[in-house]
Amino acid sequence: MSAKKRSRVKNWLAVFGLAAWVLVAMFGAAVVVGLVLGWLELAGWPIDEENPLTVMILDVAIYVLALVVTVFGPWLVLRKSMKTTRDEMGLRGWPTWMDILLGVGGFVVSALVGGLAIIGLSAVLPGVNWEQEQDVGFNNIYLTGDLIKAFVALVVVAPICEELIFRGWLYGKLRARIAVAPAVIIVSLLFALVHGQMNVGVVVFFMSVANCLIRELTGTIYGGWIVHVTRNALAFASMFSWML
């Protein structure tokens, strides 16, 4: 094998290693938080896992832990070769009017394309439940305070952390090694995979494509945050419309 081919193979191994690391961080964080919760319950702590406050704390803990592990785990092992800068995370400067315009446009386009994709796939794969409601964990919402806790977890924390992990850290690392198209596809497929539902996965895949392209155009994840927060806010309003 020539030196050029060896370098290419090494590069792609690094790409798949980065993608795998994000999966490890996301699912590993959920496992660790679950184990801590189980230990606390065994120790006699009266924890109500259906309580909205508990669900919010667990969600925030999982997202924050996943973000910290994603960014700092490789750095602790490899140090300089895996150092992550603000630019690489897509946090360059401050949000601009262009970020806002692209965020609004990205949301509209990705929502339309995702909706059309669901319609097309439902005709091709009628056996799949394309209207399955996403289980977000907040099943006992009765008070305004409960609604606020769910809002914080689903509309604030989730978009911030997911954009930092996927369109920030992962996309930044991949673009240093591969071209735009494969980087967008890998990030978006991975993002769809971690959502665990076919119908949700299709919709968020196209949202991720839009957010990756916005990141490519602007160098930041600010526009992607707008897309993501808007989508989650509308889904939140639909899910808890009876409380609003």
Q: Which of 82, 55, 56, 86 is nearest to 69 (CA)?
A: 82
CB contact burial 29-42 (16+ within 10 A = b; e otherwise):
bbeebeeebeeeee
pTM: 0.94
For residue 243, pLDDT over 70 is answered with: no
For residue 109, pLDDT over 80 is answered with: yes
219: left (phi over 0), alpha (psi -120 to 50) or beta: left
Per-residue pLDDT of 138-148, as tens digits, reads 887 777 888 99
Per-residue pLDDT of 149-182, as tens digits, reads 999 999 999 999 999 999 999 999 999 999 999 9
